[in-house]
Amino acid sequence: MPESHPTDAATGGTPSMPLPIVLVGPMGSGKSRVGARLAASVGAPFVDTDQRIVDRFGPIEEIFERDGEAAFRAIEREVVAEALRERAVVSLGGGAVLDADTRSELAGLAVVRLDVRPEAVAPRLAGSTRPLLADGGLERWIRIRAERRPLYDEVAGLSIDTTRRSVARIVEEITEWAGGRA
């Protein structure tokens, strides 16, 4: 079970808030947007593992093109393992749960699965450069979501459909749930 720590200038966070709080779910479910707002709300840093990969290794689509998905997943695994050791709100890329070691590390942490219905995700993905959607678009997204759903459910202690919910309400729900875990 994750530790909870009192708020102080060195660690951030709110009293009795377990950190990390980890967001998982399919592409376009709002992990980055919700994660940034949640981090601000609980006074913790925000780590978007996809953005960290881009910052260190370049655009994800270029990694896929140049080195292939297996190479990307190895980089992702390293970045995720590092992020999960931080006292932060952490947003994982949609496929991070494919790695068994990552799923094992998520056990006992405060993990939230965000989801979204296909009709709501279509506008969010319009014009996307996401490599796994390059061939198949929304239909491919639906297949990927269905394939990964059992893995998301395996690691998550709370599931929230973001389709028709405000970011503020989602953050409130996560904060209440995570605070109750401490």
| Residue pair 49/76 in contact by the 8 Å Cβ criterion | yes
- Note whether residue 107 is domain-resident: yes
Please, which residues bridge with residue 46 across strands? Answer: 89
Count of structural domains, the chain: 1
Assign 59 to helix, strand or coil.
coil
Where residue 153 sits, what CATH number does that domain have? 3.40.50.300
Domain region containing 72: 16-177
Residue 36 lies in a domain: yes
Q: Walk along the chain (182 residues) and give the pLDDT tens digit of each residue.
A: 333 333 333 344 455 678 999 999 998 899 999 999 999 999 999 999 999 999 999 999 899 999 999 999 999 999 999 999 999 999 999 999 999 999 999 998 999 999 999 888 776 666 555 555 556 677 888 999 999 999 999 999 999 999 999 999 999 999 999 988 76
Does residue 11 sit within a domain? no
Q: Is 3 inside any structural domain? A: no
24 is a domain residue: yes
| Distances from the Cα of 182 to the Cα of 49, 124, 149, angstroms | 25, 34, 26
For 60, residues 6+ apart whose C-beta sits below 8 A from its C-beta are: 50, 53, 54, 72, 130, 131
Task: Please check whether residue 97 lies inside any domain of the structure.
Answer: yes
Q: How far apart are CA 64 and CA 51, in angstroms?
A: 15
- pTM, two decimals, is 0.85
Residue 14 token pair: 């709110």
Indicate whether 28 belongs to any domain: yes
**Does 9 map to a domain?**
no
